Amino acid sequence: MLMTDPLNDAIEKKATRDAYGKALEDIGSKHKNVVVLDADLSGSTKTKGFSAKFPDRFFNFGVAEQNLVANAAGFSRTGLIPFASTFAMFLTGRAWEVVRNTVAYPCENVKLVATHAGITLGEDGASHQALEDVGIMRVIPNMTVIVPSDYNQTYKAIHAAVEHRGPMYIRLGRPNIPMIYDDKDIFTIGKAILLQEGKKVAFIANGIMVYEAWRAARLVEKSTGIRPFVIDMHTVKPLDTSMLDDIGKKVDVIYTFEEHNIIGGLGSAVNEYAGEHLDCRIIRIGINDQFGQSGTPDNLMVHYELKAENIAQKVIKNLSVSKHVN
């Protein structure tokens, strides 16, 4: 584990989209059947490096996301492994019907890797900040959905995607974010990672919110003496229900954290399972069913109360209320 103290502000930061670009270049040298498709955003999605090294295996479809996805499905049918990329809003929004009927329904081996997701996209504002994409992809049968939490995990997730057979949606962001893992940490699709043992309370997060949740957990412990479990649930579908079963027996409440609408994403997935299998309470923290807005990533995280300090305050208040009720 690279990060052992989430309260250390000197943690190195890298963008998950940069890891995607690096992984593609490394994979391209080893797997000659990998092709990459983009929608005129290769500089932003970081597929540009692959295009320079393997120009005969890179295809730019311009601002035509439906064609992008349809052709990815076609490549898959020839035995190739296509990685199709653009911004999350366009890949899951404009191309949704093609994703459903041309990729997922016939279970094509297509890897949909979307960048610039969530409010940390920043100044481009609500029209480009995909806050619904995980929910949109999660409801499609056959689709695996992954939200990596840092650079190294993203690199491992892209390598795992090559070996995984079937449709996959991987959600990446724009800004540099804290490094949690080192290059030796193991990543397994569908297997959550327990970052911190605890008691009474569990924090389950993915994406950029893993760091914020872990940092919040330390702040909660310093204030209350209660040490929350911290879990990186990078795979939203299939959900690691074994982890949920184990944690559900040990805590009174599970908090979920996501840079996404609290409807349809990680919180909904955990809540759906818990409602049928667990006895503990679930509290979802994320974007409260509203659109984003223009601003710097950090200011938006503060505005939508997704920073560790905001989270810790809420949890400490809830623990105090629970203590008095009990």
Q: Which residues are catalytic?
A: 65
Rounded mean pLDDT, 195-222: 98
Phi, psi for residue 34 in degrees, rounded to 5: -90, 130
**Predicted confidence (pLDDT) per residue in 246-271, tens digit:** 999 999 999 999 999 999 999 999 99
Cβ atoms of 200 and 169 within 8 Å: the answer is no
DSSP 3-state assignment of 311? helix
Smallest CA-to-CA distance from 76 within 50, 56, 41, 106 is with 106
Q: Which domains does the chain have, with CATH numbers?
A: 13-178 (3.40.50.970), 193-325 (3.40.50.920)
Rg, the chain, Cα only: 19
Q: How confident is the model at residue 323 (pLDDT cuts 50, 70, 90)?
A: low
Confidence (pLDDT) at 1: 84
Task: List Cα–Cα distances, 46 to 42, 174, 225, 247, in angstroms.
Answer: 5, 10, 43, 37
* AA identity, residue 279: D
Consecutive H or E run containing 209: helix 209-224
Confidence (pLDDT) at 68: 98
**Predicted confidence (pLDDT) per residue in 162-177, tens digit:** 999 999 999 999 999 9
Q: Which two tokens stand for residue 298?
A: 């950090």
**Predicted confidence (pLDDT) per residue in 21-40, tens digit:** 999 999 999 999 999 999 99
CA distance 139 to 204: 20
Predicted confidence (pLDDT) at residue 321 exceeds the cutoff of 70: no
DSSP E strands, 39-110: 58-60, 81-87
Predicted confidence (pLDDT) at residue 182 exceeds the cutoff of 50: yes
Rounded mean pLDDT, 261-283: 97
The contacts of residue 246 (CB under 8 Å, 6+ apart) are: none
Confidence (pLDDT) at 325: 46
The pTM assigned to this predicted structure is 0.96
* AA identity, residue 78: T
Confidence (pLDDT) at 44: 98
CA distance 121 to 207: 13
Dihedral sign for Cα atoms in the order 40, 41, 43, 46? negative
CA distance 95 to 101: 10
**Predicted confidence (pLDDT) per residue in 68-120, tens digit:** 999 999 999 999 999 999 999 999 999 999 999 999 999 999 999 999 999 99
Predicted confidence (pLDDT) at residue 286 exceeds the cutoff of 50: yes
Confidence (pLDDT) at 224: 96
What's the residue count for the chain? 326
The contacts of residue 192 (CB under 8 Å, 6+ apart) are: 204, 231, 232, 233, 234, 235, 240, 243
**Predicted confidence (pLDDT) per residue in 106-124, tens digit:** 999 999 999 999 999 999 9
